[in-house]
Amino acid sequence: MRPLDPATAAELTAAAARLLAEHGSATSPELLAALPGTRARLAEALGTALRPVDTADGLFVLRGLRPDDTELGPTPAHWSTAAGSGALWDVVLLLVSALMGTPIAWDGQQDGRFVHNIVPSPGHENEQTGASSDVLLTPHTEDAFHPGRAHLLLLACMRNHDAIATTAASIRRTRLADEDIAQLKRRVVPILPDDAYEQARRFAGRPAPVPTLFDGGEGLTMRFDPAYTPYDEADEAWRAAYGRLEDELARVSVAVSLRPGDVLVVDNDVVVHGRVPFQARYDGTDRWLKRASVRVEGRPTRPPAEHDEHGYGQAALTAWTA
């Protein structure tokens, strides 16, 4: 855990409030363009707390922010109805993201927004997406199907009365045989777009096989989403190695129950994340997270061949132009 002292937390929240008051909406292009300037003014106060993920666990929790449960209003029933719900915390999360890299969004997910609302939604209980509740959200790399996926995933807790746990497992905590690592570096099967990407799932191009593991400069990195990997198409040796990887990730998995105001920062190249099942009430008090994705330029964690992938026609958007 990395605590924010009250003065620093207040400075961050006040900066977000000024941006929101000036630009009127957390989705305003002018607000997004103003992030680098505000980031520069906050860097000294927040630099230590928001230094890169620096342990084999591949994650940390930023603690010290204090959203007011009453002021937030009810948990939205669906991301599309969230509108400006918790807009101040959208901007806080954007500032935290900007201090760690460049926030990105997707033209085919949640209308291209840079902050997503993750809430249980009626009719989606059994899907492998953030809108589910009744099923285990299988540990996965965020947006594993795409070569432009985030380097860092940020999950900010707005509400979690039931202490529902986010699960996380680091490839650098596993013990895999050299033979299994060699198998999983092979390009055998693709990773397909998940159900949150309707346009990508209709893409006409042929899926391309991708490696599961690769050398990332400082250790193994990973690209993993078993719910959307057609591994029944793979050879027996690869499937056996993949199964042992799943077992190892389960062995080293940790459960993180976020408190309101906590921001979980996950290294998306090293850690897979998921969520335990829970019973949604749909009464305005359910678990509510906000999610942001961040790229860190120049990071040597991806194989060069990824540049040739089509990404199923999905384009990543950046919060500002250099």
Q: What is the pLDDT of residue 305?
A: 87
Task: For residues 11-40, give the mean pLDDT.
Answer: 96
Tell me whether residue 206 is exposed, middle or buried, using C-beta atoms within 10 angstroms of its C-beta: 0 to 12, 13 to 18, 19 or more. Answer: exposed
How many domains is the chain built from? Answer: 1
Domain annotation covers residue 274 = yes
Domain annotation covers residue 202 = no
Domain annotation covers residue 182 = no
Find residue 165's DSSP bridge partners.
257
Other C-beta atoms lying within 10 Å of the C-beta of residue 256: 17
| Tally of CA atoms within 13 A in the half-sphere of 208 that contains its CB | 15
Rounded Cα distance, 145 and 55, in Å: 26
Q: What kind and span of H or E run contains 158?
A: strand 152-159
Domain annotation covers residue 139 = yes
Rounded Cα distance, 105 and 113, in Å: 6
Domain annotation covers residue 31 = yes
Q: Give pLDDT tens digits for 180-229.
A: 999 999 999 999 999 888 888 999 888 999 999 999 878 999 999 999 99
Q: Residue 132: pLDDT band by 50, 70, 90 thresholds?
A: confident
Q: Residue 248: pLDDT band by 50, 70, 90 thresholds?
A: very high
Rounded Cα distance, 263 and 137, in Å: 19
Domain that holds residue 136: 2-163+255-298+307-318
In the numeric block, the tokens 């749909």 are attached to: 282
Q: What type of residue sits at position 119?
A: V
Q: What is the pLDDT of residue 322?
A: 54
Q: What is the pLDDT of residue 173?
A: 97
Task: For residues 299-322, give the mean pLDDT.
Answer: 87
In the numeric block, the tokens 């003014």 are attached to: 41
Other C-beta atoms lying within 10 Å of the C-beta of residue 229: 22
> 147 and 269 in contact (C-beta within 8 Å)?
no
DSSP secondary structure of 114-131: SSEEE---TT-TTSSSTT
Q: What is the pLDDT of residue 277?
A: 93
In the numeric block, the tokens 């080293």 are attached to: 252
Rounded Cα distance, 11 and 41, in Å: 10
Task: For residues 40-47, give the mean pLDDT.
Answer: 89
Domain annotation covers residue 44 = yes
Find residue 266's DSSP bridge partners.
59, 153
CATH number of the domain bearing residue 109: 3.60.130.10
Q: Which residues contact 267 (CB under 8 A, 6 or more apart)?
A: 53, 58, 59, 151, 152, 170
Domain annotation covers residue 218 = no
Q: Please, what is the Cα angle at 105 between 104 and 109, to 5 degrees?
A: 160
Other C-beta atoms lying within 10 Å of the C-beta of residue 259: 12
Rounded Cα distance, 124 and 134, in Å: 9
pTM of the model: 0.96
Q: Helices 29-46 and 87-100, interaxial angle, to 10°? A: 60
Residue 134: name the closest of 280, 288, 250, 281 by CA: 280
Q: What is the pLDDT of residue 198?
A: 86
Q: What is the pLDDT of residue 216?
A: 80
Task: For residues 306-320, give the mean pLDDT.
Answer: 91
Find residue 3's DSSP bridge partners.
63
Asked whether the predicted pLDDT for residue 258 surpasses 60, the reply is yes
Mean pLDDT of the chain: 94
Q: What type of residue sits at position 142?
A: E
Q: What is the pLDDT of residue 47?
A: 86
Q: Give pLDDT tens digits for 150-191.
A: 999 999 999 999 999 999 999 999 999 999 999 999 999 999
Domain annotation covers residue 262 = yes
Joined tokens for residue 7: 């003065």
Rounded Cα distance, 263 and 278, in Å: 21
